[in-house]
Chains A and B, each alone.
Chain A
Amino acid sequence: MTGSRVMLSDASFAPSDRAAPVLEEVEAVAEGGRITVVVGANAAGKTTLLRTVAGLRPARAGRVSIELDGAAYDPWRMPARVRAGRIAMLTQRVGLPAGFGVAESVEMGRHARPHRPERILEAMDRLALDPLRDRAVETLSVGQQQRVGLARVIAQHEPGGILLLDEPFAPLDLRETARAAGVLREAARRGGVVIATVHDLGLAARFGDDVWLLDGGRLVASGPAGKVLNRSRLELLFGPEAMALAGLDDPREGPSRIDGSSGPT
């Protein structure tokens, strides 16, 4: 699969049919091979944007499309099983029904895909879930449950497809954040479009190649992380106290990137 892409053309997004749009006139492109981080305050419309790209909601106006192998699709109009083979999404609250083991829960991600046990084992291995494979999911910590949710979408995700993640790192400790970031980076390296919402600005700066910055119902900036995440713009959005609290004089400064690469270029 080559040339994957997500395109938003003058698109408006609403969380439900009756609700007013939370985001309007969005023009943006997320390219395959790169990680796009969506940043914005609470209720800025990040989740609604991801749900619409995932085909779980129609765009209120404009156009949302995904490009795979040169063909363009409207995610909302794709049959559920077909869509599941192109787009995988990690929701903000990972659903793990009680009574299932870790391996069974990861296997659910392959429901609409050809049965390939090696994909399930690989996903579990990469999220370090092997030692927990027979544990009942309701007995896991929140961070471990998040890793199960991540492994499920990784098992579902086909190389070169679209991977959408709503707050993937929120409950993870630093070691697991680095591990998960590495897995997502690998998905991008294989040509996938990776779009993730991230609240931690430092993390967003170090993890993302590109950033979409949302504010006031608009996409206020998009482009390479180094250009979008500058101090003055973020201070305007979140306030000076938040900058100090996050220790972000310049979000791009600091240690090497968390996926192990040498740093921003």
Chain B
Amino acid sequence: MSTATREKMTMAQALNRALRNAMTADPSVVVFGEDVGPLGGVFRITDGLSAEFGEQRCFDTPLAESGIVGMAVGMAMNGMRPVVEMQFDAFAYPAFEQVVSHVAKLRNRTRGAVTVPMVIRVPYGGGIGGVEHHCDSSEAYYAHTPGLHVLAPASAADAYGLLRAAIASPDPVVFLEPKRLYWAKEDVDLSDEVPGIGRAAVIREGTDATLIAYGPSVPVALDAAEIAAQEGRSLQVVDVRSIVPFDDDTVCAAVRSTGRAVVVAEAPGFASVASEIVARVTERCFHSLAAPVRRVTGFDIPYPPPKLEHLQLPGVDRILDTVDDLQWEDS
């Protein structure tokens, strides 16, 4: 692999590159939403696209999320590959009926005759000091809806690779972009193959317990593993990457190898993706487990104001306290 193509870039830049390269590769790819045109999106993910590809390929829409997603359904029915931006997690809710009743179901309703390949990009999650309605972790709503793929990258390389895969996918994808990771710089080679949709990845080897995380919680889990290592405990970290389809094989193999697991996610824990992962791991790995599978999640409260959000977000200490609680004395 050539090192000449490695470059420093943020996740935001990687996503922008993915959109640009997808639009170059496939003339049916169109990008639209609120402020995605000349402004380049409030997070600048679509920066420069309308100038480069013209207003027919990247355009601003009226401020109406149901309209954006509903129009995308029709455009997908008629041969386009829409990539739409919901400006913030909680601003995607007006589109919920279109997502659940049409985006997710059209293939099924028509037994495959009508498909609506599209990507719904959702900047999501907290940790940026955002005011209310700007910090929700809404993944459970989408993950609970059959017919949608739900992806959550945690690195610039995955952001690029998964967004390209999402745009190429014959199925609709809800693409959750962890806002607080947008600006983290990484060394990336965009020509690197990353695991595709439906694949989790072990991103840190470890032998004592497995931390399972996705999106914004992945760097937190890695930090926790680093500190645990200094304290003499070896934690493995699995990045889920693809919430739907879920990679049972990789996750369960990882948990079986350590016998202990903690799932980390910032969404409220009740009826959450984290709960689903715990259930799946417990059902499949019961005889390999030395302790109950635990969760470190957000509390079951509306997302708090900025001055209190540090208490809501799973942090290194809460993760390590939970790891300490994994019945080590019994083994």
A binds B: no
